[in-house]
Structure 1
């Protein structure tokens, strides 16, 4: 667990949000979950909006760090099978453990951003190593619109993750393979 109190509170807020939803995200709930005295969270984040903004910033930072780490460990796939395997491993991270918790929090915040545009700006998709790997794979196949296809493929993958979080189950390699094949057409 991080030592910085603000980071601890933001990480705890992510967990509270994933567990209890937007209505359950309160300063007191974060204090309890973090094992801190009442009033600690409000001392660092005076308003609920400040807490939510810190949570979203931390969520994006964690996601970006994860994607950059994947990029450091991964070369551009040589073929579609390698791309499918890489995406499948990433999807598994998003559906289990801490990744599941962050995914639930991310989707909750995405819905909330409809009413709070400042959150939408923080949550906007960013360039990262994971996205570059997919783009470079598609571009290496001579696709002039690799950027558009990358966004479409990753949006479809995101939709599958959302569906499985809501409805249960896992994403199969066959589903990913079909999406990759469509991106390559």
Structure 2
């Protein structure tokens, strides 16, 4: 039986922001998603949120404080999604104990998650921007590290459920490959019709290449 891991048993984390603070960090996500970190200013956040000028700075006095809050917001969204993926994969295992059907279902769940993330490209872009910024400001890295650690757990669980050895180091490397696939998805079509089908085909082929040996 597929062993339950932290990724699939942990209670969903409490959102780090609510009320006006949530409005502001959500606006900050849209600003960064559209224009990168260079576009992130208190004034830009106020404008995007439709709030009077000075609103953002009254909650987050400095850009460092705003970046920290935004990182928590992004990390929370990604971690919740990864925890949900862990639960979905437990269901996959229960329905498909082994064989090609399970492998296809595992890949399908990962692709579906990536599709949902890419339907909100600002989320993926902001995560990538913050990931690079965390190299310069390590204090930003903790919130992002949590969701990534959860995805490493899920990959290791896929291998364990198949009776295959997968060290945490190898699982970490596979997650790096999945992150590359996700970023690559930004360059493929979005919306409906042929463009979306092209993106889905790219994601399926790429995720199959990475995960099939484990699933």
Q: Is the 8 A contact 2:32 2:126 kept in 1?
A: yes
Cα distance change, pair 148–66 in 1 and its aligned pair in 2 (3 A)? same
Work out whether 1:110 is the aligned partner of 2:151. Answer: no
In the alignment of these two chains, the number of paired residues is 179
What is the SS of the residue equivalent to 1:113?
Answer: helix
Aligned to 1:178: 209
Per the normalisation by structure 2, the TM-score is 0.74
The offset of 1:5, in angstroms, is 0.9
Aligned to 1:134: 155
Aligned to 1:90: 113
Q: Is the 8 A contact 1:8 1:34 kept in 2?
A: yes
Using the alignment, how far apart are the partners of 2:144 and 2:176 within structure 1?
14
Aligned to 2:12: none
Which ranges of structure 2 fall in alignment gaps of 5 or more residues?
1-16, 97-101, 190-198
Q: Is the 8 A contact 2:36 2:129 kept in 1?
A: yes
The offset of 1:161, in angstroms, is 1.1
Per the normalisation by structure 1, the TM-score is 0.85
The offset of 1:73, in angstroms, is 4.2
Aligned to 1:143: 164
Q: How does 1:1-185 map to 2 (within 5 A)?
A: 4-75=19-90, 76-77=92-93, 78=96, 79-96=102-119, 98=120, 100-126=121-147, 127-128=149-150, 131-165=152-186, 167-169=187-189, 170=199, 171-183=202-214
Q: Is the 8 A contact 2:81 2:113 kept in 1?
A: no
1:109-130, Cα deviation, whole Å (9 max, x unpaired)? 11111211111233224443x5
Q: Is the 8 A contact 1:31 1:40 kept in 2?
A: yes
Cα distance change, pair 44–150 in 1 and its aligned pair in 2 (3 A)? same
Q: RMSD of the alignment, in Å?
A: 2.1
